[in-house]
Structure formats: structure tokens, C-alpha cells
Structure 1
Amino acid sequence: MPNITENRSRLKIGLSAKLLVLTVAFVMLSEILIFAPSISRFRKVYLEDHISKAQLATLAIESMPKSLVSDALKEQLLSHSDSYGIILKSPERKILAISKNMPGDIDLTIDLKESRFPVWISDAFAVLVQDKNRILRVIGTSPKNPKITVEVILDEAPMRQAMYAYAGRILNLSLVISFLTAGLVYLSLHLLLVRPMGRITESMTAFRADPEKSVPSIPSSSRTDEIGTAQRELAVMQDKVRAALLQKTRLATLGAAVAKINHDLRNSLSTAVLVSDRLAKIEDPEVKAVTPRLYDAIGRAVVLCSQTLSYVANPKPVLDPTLFHLHELVAEAGAEVQPLLPEILGFSWKNAVPFDLDVVADRGQLFRVFSNLGLNALHAGSTQVEVKAEHSDGKILIDFCDNGPGISEAAQEQIFEPFTGSSGRTGTGLGLTIARDIMLAHGGSIALAHSGDDGTIFRLELPGSGGDGEK
């Protein structure tokens, strides 16, 4: 698909380029922050070095008799220290000075004994922006004897040229470090982030283009970080969505088929009912023994057909809320369910709902909920059903309990899914699905509260005001 390739290429180029530029920018910013104190330190060391050279020159003169100290020697010593003049002051107030061709006025006096860091940084940048040669008077202490003060008169231009050369070396080194670091970071992020994100994007785009196409999902990753989690979750999501879409397609096909055969099926069931009525009038004992089972089979067929057609035709219940006694409704549902399976002897339907508990809901739809739950209990082999209810915190809580064998863990995961959650061999798997849709339409809920060898409990919740059903 051209769109997939284009999107993936754009992701790789755009994100990679941004990472490269940002890495270089941040490294250069770090180097700039390091450069300020570094160039300041270089200037200070440069001046301290000239103080040391100046003291060495004075030591050479002090160690020689005055008669042997010639002007040529002084000039050579001053040239070695790159200075115009040197003044040395000792504690005994002894002053030694040598000079040559002293320039005019002093432009700037620098006292190295002042160690204020911000001042050194600002002075260093002031040197870099100068365009003329200033005459400097540098004052410092002797590195051998802190009590001795040394003053040097020198040009600023050579120091500025040395600082420019040092800055150039720092810049070149920074560029090398920046691009080397950026390359390593780019390669690492490309392998760890960009390329996996490209595969995720390609898989998402392909899935969006044709979600029902049976193509392999994104390969599962063994990575334990967020990217690996995203790849695994995307694969799971794609599989689930694809399965859901396929199921929806099957349901749509089933709905169309049921709608077409419903009329003919009802006619066939009507004929079967008429035949069973005639059989019931026959006095033959064998016929009388078979007739109840025939009634039961036809009744279940009618219920299954009606449930399937109702679910397919009206997936979202349309409500007509009214005020009624919940106890009466539960009693009617029990009376409806009990005759459906006459072969189950000793079946009891216990209505423990308070007589004064009123609800505002669609009576017919809520009747379907209790009827479906009762049918599921019968089909599962329950012999006792108990319905309890109470009003708590603005909600109506209803517990539908049976003493059946319970629901398996595998079935519990999809118990409310259509055509998959049937609790008995005779069901369609729509009973609980319909019950859930009705409860949700009322603004309530239904959930499996407990299931085990001692029975099953469904917890139903209804708003105290009856919900906001759709009219």
C-alpha cells in the first residue's frame, strides 16, 4: 500500500532528523555552558603564566652583579616574558623594576588576587569582543612566595589571539563530540524506538485499511519496555477487534437469514401446536405420555426463535418506564418459567422481594430479564431459585440466586456475549445478552457475583428513579 510506505518513511525521516538535530543542539548548548568558565580559566592561566615568567626574569637579574646586568640582557628577559616592564615588590619594600620602550597610558589594570568567578567570565568575553590592542597592567603574587607582588605591563592582542585559538579548538572538539554523540544516539534511538514505531504504525495503518482481512498481526515482542508492551497490546487488540468484526458479520448474516425464515417458521410451529392439541384429545395412554414433552419441545422452539429474532431486530431495547411493584413482577416471572420444564420435579421459585419495593422501569423488558435468568437456571439443572432485593444508596440491588452446578471459568469470560454464553445445551446464548442490554438501557447493570458448586448469583442494579430509558 503506497500510503503505508509513505507514512512509515515520513515517520522514520521526520523523527530521526528531529532526534539528530536535538542531540547536536543539546550537546552544543552543553559545550557553550562549559565554554564560558573554560575560556575564563584559560585567560587567568595565561596571565598567571606571564607573572611566573616575569618573576623568573627578575630572579635572573637579582642573582647577578649590577655591573653585569646590561640593557641587552634586560631586553632579552623582557622579550622572554612578552612584557614591556616588570615590577617586583618585596615585604622589605624593596622594589625592582626593569623596562623597555614603555608605552603610553595603561588601558586596564588586572589584579589576579581578585577571584570573583562572574567577573572573570565577563572580563574574558570582553577580551574576545575587543578589536584593538589594549595595554594591560597585571598584578599578581609570586607562585613561590605569596608575600611578593609582581606587576607586568604587556599587550592584550597576543592573549586575545591565544584565546581565539583556544576557542577554535574547543569549537572543533565540540563539533566532533556533538556529531559523534548524535550519531550514537541517533543509531540507538533508531533501533530502539524509530524502527519499532514504524512497524507499529505500518501495522495500525494496514489494520485500519482492512480490519477484517486475515493478515498476521504485528509480531509479538519479547521486549519488557513500553515499546514491547505496546507491540503486544496492539497485537492482542487487533486479534480481538478482528474476531469481534467477524462475529458482527456473522450476526448480520444470521439476522438476515432469521428475518427471512421467521414467517415460515412461525407457520410451521403453529401447525405443530394444532397437531399437538389434537393429540392431547386422544385417550391413548402412550399418546398422553408423549404429548407434554411435545408441548415442551414446541414451547422451547418458540422461545428460542422469538429471542433470536428479537435480538437481531432490536439490539437496543426501547423502554416505556412505569411505576410497579417489583415483588409482583418477580412472581409473574416465576409463574411463567415453572411450567416450561414439567419434568423437573420439586422446582421452587422463592420470591424474597419486599412487598413495598416499587421501581420505575419498563415492566415488560424487566420481565424478560427475570424470565431469561430463570430459564438459564432451569436449563443448567437448578431446582431452586431465590430472588432478593433491597434499596441501598439510591440504587435497587437485586440478587438472583440458584442452586445449580455453577458456570465454568471458561464460560464466565464470555457469559454476556451473544451465541457464546449459553449455560445449557438448549439455549441460544442470547438470554444473558438480552438481559444485559435491558439493564444497561435502564441505566443499571448486571454482573456475575458468584458461581460455584453451591450455585450461581447474578447481581442486578437499577437506579432508584428507574433510569433514563429511551422512549
Structure 2
Amino acid sequence: MPERWPHRPSFVSSLSARLLVLTVFFVLLAEFLIYAPSISRFRKVYLEEHVASAHLAALALQATPDNMVSQDLERELLFHAGAYGVVLKKPERRMLVLSGTMPSRVEITFDLSRGNFVMWIRDAFEALVQNENRVMRVIGISPKDPGVVVEVVMDEEPMRQAMIGFSARILQLSIVISLITASLVYLSLQWLMVRPMGRITRGMTAFRDNPEDASRSILASSRSDEIGIAQRELAVMQNELRAALRQKTRLATLGTAVAKINHDLRNSLATAMLVSDRLADIDDAEVQRLKPRLSEAIDRAVNLCGLTLDYVGSGALELRPSHFHLQELITEVGAALKSRQSPEGRLEWQNTVDFELDLQADRAQLFRVLNNLCRNSQQAGATKVWISAGKDNGRIFIDIADDGPGLAAKAKERLFQPFTGSARKGGTGLGLVIVRDIMRAHGGEISLLESGAKGTTFRLELPERRQVDDSGKIR
């Protein structure tokens, strides 16, 4: 099989690029969340500083003997305060202190002593998006004298330009911070996650190409985090799967050899059976005494060869489904069992299946299943076997019960395991494995309902109706 390496994604579509983009995005988002209250605070401080400057300008005016200054000085004071006019409010009176050429109207008023966090953010962004200058009245308590309220009439555009400059500095700083942070996060994630994940991916692909090559196993990591656990568990899984594959390969090779040996052995046993039959014609007491034991041993050997060949050579079962009455099939199974039983080991057979119960299945294979289970009961020492059936939730169940001694605990644990699940001495355990394969090929299942001193009961389950394609196969 040619080696296939995983397609290496381009940088744009790689996990590293996505992490880098996400890092930059979240850093910028965090900066924006910080920027909103920052620009609001900048605007408020800007207005408070102009209120303080206006108060200082008014104090310079009040320092004169007659509270009057020349127009040139007044314009200069207003220029430095950045205002059209300044009004001081004291508890006892309201007076106009400085006034230049006033605009025709004031478009908006802000009271610094009112509002909340959300309103200040809203007003800040509203000022940023203005395309034209607005004349605004700002009312605030003087930081120099809490008993004085200052009103300032001023343009909004200088404040807006200052806010834009502040925003540009914040943006530049945010970009620098985001790039530095993103680079550090990117390098950290590249080292901690992306590179280890790449090694895991390459290890999985190499293992897929040749699972039995031990050199392709991923190296276990000593890391204590999730990546390290994933690498160690993957290494364990690869080793366990490699061992299982090797065992399967050995078993497959062994199965092929056993199949060839069994084929030749069956031919030899056929000759032995012919000789055994000829021994029946010899009029000798010792020969007649040993002949049944010899025939029984040969029958067991032939049966073992047949089961082994069936198990080793069985692939996907080719079912030939048909409609038939279940009662008739069970009657045939009983007749076949009775024809093979000895006079001293009579088997009582009870068929309680309703004649009207019919099903769609491979008749020959289902006969094989029932015959196998009933023969097991007979060989286990049962004197009575009874079979019942019924329908439940669209499925047909068939119960095969006997009065035998029951299954041993060890046999129950390995009931459907080949070569280890036999319940009697000399058995192979293949019979129940083949029965299970046949039932699953029909979309059904076999299960052990109970087994004890009073007997054993197996249940077969089949779907009541299944689709059959044009070739007659059950789907």
C-alpha cells in the first residue's frame, strides 16, 4: 500500500492562522471595551479643564478695581479659555463676566454634574460622529471653588479634534499591543498545541498506512496535560491494536492450515467410517463390543472437522430467504434428532409453536441453528426439549428449553468464544459461534435466557419482516 501523508493545509486555512486571527480579534475587542469608557473620560476631563480655565479667566477680570477690562484683554482671556462667553453663578447672584462675539444660538447644553456612565459614553460617540461644528453650553462646578457654578459657551469642533487625536493614539497602541500579544500567544499555542497535534496527526496517518510496523508508533509524551494524555493513550491504543492485528494474522494463517489439514483428515475419516461399517459384519464378540465406541469416536472427529471447516471457511453468509411455517421446520428438527438417538437415551420432544406462525428466513440455515441447539441439549444429557415461539414488537422469538444439568459458570463466561466456549468435554465451542453468525446474518440474535440445575433456555430473535432484493438477498 503506498504511503499517504496528510495534506498540509496552507497557512491561511491552518489552525495557527485561525488562532492568530482570533487572538488579534479578541485583543482588539478588549481594547474597544476599554476605549469606550476611556474616550468618555477624555471628553469629560476636557470639558472640566475648560470650565477651570474659564473660572481662572473670570478671576483675572474680578481682580481689577472696577471688574472691567479692555476689549482686547477680554478677547485674549476668552481665547485662552477657548470660549465665546463665561458666566459665573454664585448662590447670591448670577452675573455675566466675560462675553465676546456670541453665536446666534446655542445648539446643545451639557451639565457636568448630571448624567451617568452610559450617557457619557453615548455623548462621546455622538460628538465623534458629528460632521459640523456645534455651539454648546457647558455647565459645571468650578474645581477651584465648589460654591461657584461656571457656564461656558464654546465650540465642539476643537474638542472633537482632540478626541480624534486621542483615539488615534489609542488605536496605534492597541495595534502594537495586539500584535505583540498575538505573536506571543501564537508562538505559545504553536509550541503547546499545534506542533503536538501535527505529530499526532502524522502518527495516526503513518499507523493507518502500516499498522503492523512498530517504528510508526507515536512516541509517548511526558506532558501531564490533555495533549500528553492523548499522545500516551494513542500510543497504548496503537500497541494494543498492533498486537490484536498480529494475533488475527496468526489465527488466519493457522485457520488456513487447519482448513487444509481438516480437509485431508475428513477424507481419511471417511475411509475409517467405511472400515468401521465393514466391522459390523464380523461375527466376533470383542469386535462388536468395540465397534460402537469406534463409530462414536469417528463421528465426533467428522463433526469436529465439519465445524472447523465451517468456521474457518465462512465469510459473509449467502442467505436464500423464503416464507415457511415455523412449526413444520421444528417438526423436521425433532425427527432428525430422534433418528440419531439410541434406544436407551430416548428424548422427549415437545413442539408448542402455533401452526399459523410463519417467518421469512433461510430455511436451511435456520434448520441448522435449531438442530445445533437441540443436539447440544441432547448431548448434555437432557431428556426433554420443548420449543415455543411468539411475536413481540415486530420481532419473532423462539425459545429452546431443556431439562439438562445446565451450563457451568466458566462456559457461561465464554459461551460464544470459539474453541473456549464449549460446555462439554471434547467440544470445540464452534457450534454456538456459527449459530450466532447465522442469526446476525438474518438481522437477529441469540441469547442465553437462563441456565441452572433445572435446565437451560436459549432464545432466538428474528425480525418479523425484512426487505428482500431482486436477487433474493435479505437486506
TM-score (norm 2): 0.76
Mapped to 2, the partners of 1:212 and 1:458 lie a distance apart of 40
Mapped to 2, the partners of 1:5 and 1:465 lie a distance apart of 46
Residue 24 of structure 1 deviates from its aligned partner by 0.9
Mapped to 1, the partners of 2:181 and 2:284 lie a distance apart of 99
Mapped to 2, the partners of 1:334 and 1:29 lie a distance apart of 81
Residue identity matched to 1:194: V
Aligned to 1:408: 410
Residue 198 of structure 1 deviates from its aligned partner by 2.7
Aligned to 1:204: 204
Aligned to 2:353: 354
Mapped to 2, the partners of 1:272 and 1:122 lie a distance apart of 105
Mapped to 1, the partners of 2:419 and 2:174 lie a distance apart of 68
Mapped to 1, the partners of 2:383 and 2:182 lie a distance apart of 74
Aligned to 1:112: 110
The correspondence of residues 17-416 of structure 1 with structure 2, limited to 5 A, is 17-62=17-62, 64-67=63-66, 70-71=69-70, 78=78, 81-83=81-83, 85-89=85-89, 94-99=94-99, 102=100, 109-113=107-111, 115=115, 116=119, 119-126=122-129, 136-143=135-142, 148-153=149-154, 156-157=157-158, 159-160=159-160, 162-179=162-179, 181-182=181-182, 185-186=185-186, 189-190=189-190, 193-214=193-214, 218=218, 238=238, 242=242, 245-246=245-246, 249-250=249-250, 252-254=252-254, 256-257=256-257, 260-261=260-261, 263-333=263-333, 336=336, 348=347, 350-356=349-355, 357-377=357-377, 385-401=385-401, 403-408=405-410, 411-412=413-414, 415-416=415-416
Amino-acid identity (%):
50
SS at match of 1:426: coil
TM-aligned CA distance change 1:360 to 1:79, over 3 Å = closer
Mapped to 2, the partners of 1:199 and 1:12 lie a distance apart of 20
Residue identity matched to 2:432: L
Shifted more, 439-448 versus 116-125: the winner is 116-125
Mapped to 2, the partners of 1:374 and 1:88 lie a distance apart of 114
CA deviation digits over 1:120-164, x for unaligned, max 9?
A: 14433236x78xxx584432133566984512435843x345324
Shifted more, 145-154 versus 393-402: the winner is 145-154
Residue 209 of structure 1 deviates from its aligned partner by 0.5
TM-aligned CA distance change 1:289 to 1:46, over 3 Å = farther
CA deviation digits over 1:179-235, x for unaligned, max 9?
A: 455356446645664344334312320221112334575577899997678667756
CA contact (8 A) 2:5 2:206 kept: no
TM-score (norm 1): 0.77
Mapped to 1, the partners of 2:394 and 2:381 lie a distance apart of 35
CA contact (8 A) 2:27 2:178 kept: yes
Shifted more, 202-211 versus 179-188: the winner is 179-188
TM-aligned CA distance change 1:106 to 1:27, over 3 Å = farther
Residue 297 of structure 1 deviates from its aligned partner by 1.8
Residue 104 of structure 1 deviates from its aligned partner by 8.1
Residue identity matched to 2:128: F
TM-aligned CA distance change 1:373 to 1:242, over 3 Å = farther
Residue 174 of structure 1 deviates from its aligned partner by 2.5
Uncovered stretches (5+) of structure 2, i.e. residues with no partner: none
CA contact (8 A) 1:108 1:136 kept: yes
Residue identity matched to 2:154: I
TM-aligned CA distance change 1:73 to 1:239, over 3 Å = same
Uncovered stretches (5+) of structure 1, i.e. residues with no partner: none
Aligned to 2:435: 435
Residue 14 of structure 1 deviates from its aligned partner by 2.2
Equivalent residue pairs, number: 460
Shifted more, 224-233 versus 104-113: the winner is 224-233
Residue identity matched to 2:152: E
Residue identity matched to 1:138: R
CA contact (8 A) 1:48 1:140 kept: no
CA contact (8 A) 2:39 2:121 kept: no
Shifted more, 84-93 versus 425-434: the winner is 84-93
Mapped to 2, the partners of 1:224 and 1:353 lie a distance apart of 63
Residue identity matched to 1:174: S
Mapped to 1, the partners of 2:289 and 2:198 lie a distance apart of 71
Aligned to 2:464: 464
SS at match of 1:470: coil
Mapped to 2, the partners of 1:380 and 1:240 lie a distance apart of 38
Residue 7 of structure 1 deviates from its aligned partner by 5.4
Mapped to 1, the partners of 2:326 and 2:282 lie a distance apart of 42
Shifted more, 50-59 versus 229-238: the winner is 229-238
Mapped to 2, the partners of 1:362 and 1:32 lie a distance apart of 73
SS at match of 2:437: helix
- The two structures, once aligned, show a CA RMSD in angstroms of 4.5
Residue 43 of structure 1 deviates from its aligned partner by 1.8
CA contact (8 A) 1:407 1:451 kept: no
